[in-house]
Structure 1
Amino acid sequence: MLVLIPFGLVYQFVANKMFDIEFILGRMRYYTLLAIIPTLLTVGALVWFDLVGIQMNPARQTVFIFVVMFSVFYFKEVIDFKFRLKRFSEKFNYQDSIFKYTQLMRSVTSLQQVFKELKNTILDVLLVSKAYTFEIAPDHKVIYLDKQVKEPDWQLYEKEFENVTSEIGKIIEVNQGFLMKVGERGGSSYVLLCLSNINTPRLTRDEISWLKTLSFYTSVSMENVMQIEELMEHLKDLKQEGTNPIWLKKLMFAIEEKQRSDLARDLHDSVLQDLISLKRQCELFLADFKKDDDPCREEVQDKLVQMNEQMSDVISMTRETCHELRPQLLYDLGLVKALSKLVAQQQERVPFHIRLNTGRFTASLDLDSQLNLYRIIQEFLSNAVKHSQATEVLIMLISIQNKIVLHYEDDGVGFDQEKTNEHSMSMGLSGIKERVRALDGRLRIETSEGKGFKADIEMEL
């Protein structure tokens, strides 16, 4: 069995590459067919008229000329492929024109540009001399869109305009050209009218297939451009109103969390590792220094011990900062475990007692919602340290049926709610309100001077 393994691997490799081999062999047969006929004609002419003065028998002449012809055809196709976007468009060059058109569509930003590139492509390839764009309203009213160009006598094709709107890519031929539906929007259809100065022959099967492909590409490009235009208009309206939609707030907070995560990773991988290395070097130097007999040894030793302790504090603070920027426990074990660790860490350095109750929280939330709730509680605790002067803090996180309730309460100094704007800025409440909006929740605050601070947040699952 082991002997068959190498043969199996070789077979799989060859089988995966067979398509390329077949393609190459097919192209070689194609070039051979193209080269053999002109080779035979050239050799026959040379032998017949005895035009070659060098001593070369017909067999060698045939091989030499065949190789030259084969190489010419091969390199001609390679050059055509490489410069298909840089050369001038050619009549009836369907494949390259499609590729060129799709590349141009990547940079368009308006419907006018879409129609302009479509018309230029059709005029370059087909035997038509003019192209016009029209919009056909749901009530069959025809609206001419190319205001900068003289309006054609489209009334001659009024019946065809009504019939062409049934589907994208529908083509109806007329005496000097054709009509083609290239897109639609909200019940309105967009139609291209292509005309020639002379009576053009009927469209061939290849031309119809090419035009249908163009129309489908155009329809997709129009849809993308129109959605971008609608989005930009919506953002302008929101900017004028001065409010941001919930989806935009979620996106902004997601970007913020990504930046926090990147910063935490950079701190952990660079600064923290350098500090740990420096601390170890200091400990090794201190161990060696204790062995020396020097009258100033005790003084220097005390300074080294002090530096070592300071580095330990900096390492601890850096680790805590990394955790605050990116709470790894939340990513690994969820919100409840992350909150328990957050409260335990805060309890070690704050002057008040913190009670955390998450026993009735069993909801399953997405990562963004968990991060927002974590940041809200983090901000409440930060405000309590900076402003509340409290002795007791209570945090409750509960899930009831299809609702989540976060309750925060402290017995601190509180503030006057009539000065909400001033305190919102100083206490970070504006950031909490923005996160609550991103969660599509409701925030209720109860507080007054000297009577503590309460906040309830409710959000639907």
Structure 2
Amino acid sequence: MIKVRTAFTLLFGVIIISLIITTMVFLKLLDNRKGFGRMQFTKHAKLQLSHQIAEKNNDLSYLFSQYLLTQEADWKNQYQQLKNEPSEALADYQKYHLKDTVFRLAESEIQLLQLAQEKDNYLRQLEADVFKEKSPTSAIERFSDNEEEYQIARKQLLHHLEDFDDLIENESTNKWNKSSEEGYFYFYVSLSLLLSILLFSCISFILIQKRVKQQEQLDLQLQENIKEIKATKNELEKSDERFQLAIKGSKALIWDFDTQQKKIKWFPKGKDFLEYDAEELGTDLQFLKDHIHKDDVSLFDKEIKEHKETRNPIAFDARFYSKNKELRWLRCQGLPVFDENTKALNRIVGTFVDITDELKAEEKIVNAVLETEDKERSRIARDIHDSLQQTMSTALLHLEKVRHHQPELNSEEHFQLGYSLLKKSIKESRSLAHNLMPKVVEENGIVPALQSLITAMKGSTDTQISFFENIGEERLKLSYEISIYRIVQESINNMMKHSKASECTIQLMKYPDLLVLTIEDNGVGFDTSKTDQSFGINSLKTRASAIGAYLQVSSNLGKGTEIFLELAL
């Protein structure tokens, strides 16, 4: 059922639209009457045009005939004077011939006037030839020779003008009939609209009467609605209380920065921040700048500046000093709030969360990784002392014997043995040197370190190793770079020892919030279900979990091996 307000809106809308349409119809009717008047005026002007042409032609023909009959020069002078006078008919013709004039002629009308004008010019030419004769006798003879053509031309001129008048009359009659039909149509339409407006006005009056009678019922309904609103308000207050309790129980502190007044409001009320009581908290950005670590001030300014330029959300971690001068790590996040009409930035609302404990836990993991690396370096140092140095010393002794050319020894045999041991020593020294590469990682970054590692490995294996990356010179966290380097290093060593692969592809790709490492080879593969206790695979997973990354090893016999690592940034 249609509501009363909707009914009123529809009825008054119909009435207003009907009034607008009625006004437009009346304007059309008025324009129709104006057009009818213009048509009559145009008809008169066009007929006057043909009459002026005919009248001037008759006058000139009369003066010409009088000259032939009397041979008096006065008639010739009057002829010349009338001929040379500006022709109103010709001027009107030129005016009506223009397409932008109010009384413009149709193409058929223009053609008839042009034919009449041509005949008129022809008659004037014949008359001019007669006037050129010097004697009266020769003039009469000249006219006699062209009299038949002269009369035919006059008849054709009058015939064209008559056709022009008939055309004007027919056209005027057709336009009059059409104008009358349109006038009656607009009249009846306007009358129908007025009756419709009257009908809808009566219906509106009846509905208004009913609406007044229903007002008491609406008042009662309003009172019931007020009760429901109060109940809803109470529920919202309880919901707000639950929200306040949830915020108080968490580590988050909500901040609301007004960009117009440059003031900060803190929520929930009464909660402390950096060991400051709610009453001690500052209400401007300077309060935050006064407590941020000096090395993180530039980061803070950069985030605020970038937010003003791009209006992207704010997100950064920085160190702040508490009231007791204790250094705490805080994670700041914020979202812009824009005006719906002007699209201007009104507020920035976000949270401060203390992440000091989380970072300390991460530091413990990094320290454990670094401690493991120190142990690894110690082991490699022992290997160098126990293995590499002994091998190179033995090689040196054999080569020394060759150098002194002791005749009692087989020099060739000692030389070949020393040479092979020296090659083995160089190969071992290269492998051991690259086991100490994290120093290169720390100094140059993960990409140059991996490129150096792969270049060195190419001299020790026939496997074609390809490396692709999109990081360039960008640096990651040192703990991330060292762990990724170790994972790639160990994976390549395992591939060289066991896979018998001819190709190996390494990809290190960085996305806005994700780092992805993949290592694929086309080797013999292995059964992953039988390697759960494998020291190598478990070592890779341990290194990945130390930095919070996800690692998966996929392999099938005869189909190669794929190592996939995903790290959230």
**What band does the TM-score fall into relative to the shorter chain?**
0.3 to 0.5
